[in-house]
Structure 1
Amino acid sequence: MCYLQTENNKAAAAVPGGGMQLNTGQTWTINPPEDTQGARVWARTGCNFDGSGNDHCETGDCNGILQCQGYGAPPNTLAEYGLNQFNNLDFFDISLIDGFNVLMDFSPTSGCARGICCTTDINGQCPNKLKAPDGCNNLCTVFKTDEYCCNSGNYGPTNYSKFFKDRCPDAYSYPKDD
């Protein structure tokens, strides 16, 4: 079970789960199936959905609709999880591989594991080359090279991925950041 909370002019999104406009103080509870794999949760910013659930968000956009059918567009801070996976264990992480748009604290409700967080305002410190409206872009979106997109070869951290890791040590900062 995940609880999401955002500020005004923001919306929450999840796969599986869809999406929801949230005003300050509102919470959205997601109850995914017990064997969920490859799930993501993120906030979208700069949204103001109409009565039909249509609008473009500055960050984390889902093709202009409230009820996400796929992953959101970068930049977005991601919480990722899988339930009942290897040895029936649950796995979760925060990822900045798709960039950063909001602070995040992602914790299990069972109390059996420590939560993870990214609570540094990366938007305010974002390098000029990565700046985006309401966010800090991911490296691949900006540079579009194998070095930053991890499309082939032996990929490792870069100065830009280290920028993210230094500010949010709990979060993935590049695709092979295990």
Structure 2
Amino acid sequence: MMSLANLLLSIPLLLVTFFLISSQAAIFEIRNECPYTVWAAASPGGGRRLDRGQSWTLNVAAGTAMARIWGRTNCNFDAGGRGHCQTGDCGGVLDCKGWVDGFNIPMDFSPTSGGCRGMKCTADINGQCPGELKVPDGCNNPCTVFKTNEYCCTQGQGTCGPTNFSRFFKDRCPDAYSFPQDDPTSTFTCPGGTNYRVVFCPRGSPRFPLEMVGSLSEE
């Protein structure tokens, strides 16, 4: 499916995270254009508070086997980096080691040079989220909610397929990874050595609740 020199990209839904496998180093510029603070998260990479207009440059080492980048909202962390986020939380720490699946913030993910396509998910997923999946300021993963093979594909390749929930996400964000075996429509390759830009709330994104805009959370 890919050569070792390539980067494999996808947007697994909810939290719109990005997955990569690469034998070459890559640079990610992660920028917050939301009208509220976003605590960017990367695994590996850790985490960083980004107020509106701020950026974080992340260097992903060659040979990285699996990684994700996402945003967290309404976080509070103490001086030791312990705390909690309302959405996107990764075990109550600022510097993430694991990850979660879900949707909370519209995002755009694009190469900064040619050779492969960009991806984005900017639909009003939170506003239209099915009631069974709805959480404050986000839309949950059906697997997390129902914990069955139908949504989690725990019984192996070919034991699950698209559902009404996955179609809800796919119809609104065609690039997004909508269920655990959605590789054919949601993974893309980029040449080795490509660098990337990740933007939270890119231009044209839907407006989000005012309580997020006025958040006074601190690290």
Give the TM-score category using the shorter length. Answer: 0.7 to 0.9
**Superposed structure 1 runs of 4+ greater than 3 Å apart:** none
The percentage of aligned residue pairs carrying the same residue is 61
Does 43-52 or 100-109 show the bigger shift?
A: 43-52
How far apart are 1:63 and its partner, in Å? 1.4
Counterpart of 1:140 in 2: which secondary structure? helix
**Stretches of structure 1 lacking an aligned partner (at least 5 in a row):** 74-97
Q: TM-score by structure 1 length?
A: 0.81
CA 1:45–1:118 in 2, change beyond 3 Å: closer, same or farther? same
Q: For 1:107-140, what per-residue CA distance to the aligned partner results, in whole angstroms no more than 9, with x for missing partners?
A: 1222221211111120011011100112100001
Q: TM-score by structure 2 length?
A: 0.66
- Tell me which of 132, 135, 155 is aligned to 1:132: 135
Distance in structure 2 (CA, Å) of the matches to 1:25 and 1:48: 20
Q: Which residue of 2 aligns with 1:94?
A: none
Q: Which residue of 1 aligns with 2:7?
A: none
Q: Which residue of 2 aligns with 1:3?
A: 29
Q: Which amino acid aligns with 2:172?
A: R
Q: Which residue of 1 aligns with 2:110?
A: 107
How far apart are 1:145 and its partner, in Å? 1.1
How many residues of Structure 1 are paired with residues of Structure 2 in the alignment?
153
- Tell me which of 153, 156, 169 is aligned to 2:161: 156
Cα RMSD over matched residues? 1.4
Counterpart of 2:108 in 1: which secondary structure? strand
Higher strand share: 2
**Stretches of structure 2 lacking an aligned partner (at least 5 in a row):** 1-26, 185-219
Counterpart of 1:25 in 2: which secondary structure? coil
Q: Equivalences for 1:64-75 in 2 at 5 Å? A: 64-71=92-99, 73=100
Distance in structure 1 (CA, Å) of the matches to 2:105 and 2:98: 20
Which of structures 1 and 2 has the larger relative contact order (alpha carbons within 8 angstroms, sep 6+)? 2
